[in-house]
Amino acid sequence: MSSDPFNNLDPDGEVKVLPRHLAGPGPTDLRTAWPFPFEEDWSLTQPAKGPALATSPCLRLWTGLVPEPDSRGKGKWTIAANRVPFAAPTWQITFDATTPIELLHDVHTELLDLYLEDRHSDRDRLFEDDTPPQEAYTPLLARGWSHQVKTDGTQLFHAPDGLGGVRHRYATTGIDTPIWSAWGGSPSEPSWRAQFSFGAPTTLVAAFTASLISTEPVRRSVGDIPFHTRRNLYLATATTARQPSPSSPAAVPPAAGPAPGRTR
């Protein structure tokens, strides 16, 4: 019996799979990752090759992609904010380019919401967010992630399959140490990593973890799904297939309700 649930599917066909943290990056599409109103006032620099950059009208917020095809993470997505235009970043968030595109989309969507909320109120949540950390990690516990508190001032949350994790430093001693970090795949050789620096809004971390555990399947080409995570994926739908084989059924998703949502 084949151990690959996608063995009988056309490599060029598309499927919908779960969990998200093992699905692979998906297509690197800036418009999917960045849901900003470029037709209005956000700027977009998108050369044919090399880094791409999106900037807010106030010039205090920017997000970019630097491709590095020969590196393990294939490059970096970076979100950064500074209190004064062109000053050093006050906080930043980084993702390997191998991070699932849906996670990037949901974090950037929340980023835009925070930006618009600040712009039309007297609040400044991009720099003074009072969201408690439990809003980011309680949904993980509700979805069956394990919890471990360590004596070094960190707490760890691991996915039920053991192939994903979130680390929260609740007693950090330096602003250069990431407060939150996450990964998908083997802890020793993760498929992707994400880091949220000191000062990054917890609201954005909560958007990330909510997307991470979402039960909405993601669409992937069969040939783009990483081989080392295929046995741990659930197949929701397939659009094309090879000759079906009753001896090698694709896995079906477990019964699950919607992932815990967040309210603001």
The upper half-sphere exposure of residue 225, i.e. CA atoms within 13 Å in the direction of its Cβ, equals 31
**Residue 44: its pLDDT value, please?**
95
Q: What does the alpha-carbon distance between residue 145 and residue 192 come to, in Å, rounded to a whole number?
A: 18
**Phi, psi angles (nearest 5°) of residue 131:** -65, 130
Q: How far is CA 210 from CA 78, 156, 197, in A?
A: 20, 16, 19
pLDDT less than 50: residues of the chain: 1-2, 241-261, 263-264
Q: Which of 209, 217, 210 is nearest to 253 (CA)?
A: 217
Find out whether 253 and 184 touch, Cβ atoms under 8 Å.
no
CA 203 to chain centre: 14
**Residue in the block written with tokens 């555990």:** 213
- In a domain? residue 222: yes
R_g (Cα) of the chain, nearest Å: 19
The DSSP-derived string for 234-254 is: EEEEES--SS--TTSPPP-PP
Whole domain around residue 65: which residue ranges? 14-238
- In a domain? residue 155: yes
- In a domain? residue 251: no
For 181, the 3-state DSSP assignment is: strand
- In a domain? residue 4: no
**Residue 7: its pLDDT value, please?**
84
Would you tell me how many other CB atoms lie within 10 Å of the CB of residue 231?
14
**Residue 95: its pLDDT value, please?**
98
- In a domain? residue 258: no
- In a domain? residue 255: no
- In a domain? residue 184: yes
Single pTM value for the model? 0.88
Strand partners, 78: 64, 94
The predicted-structure confidence for 132-168, as pLDDT tens digits, reads as follows: 999 999 999 999 999 999 999 999 999 999 999 999 9
Number of domains in the chain: 1
Strands 164-169 and 146-149, by their bridges, are unpaired
- In a domain? residue 8: no
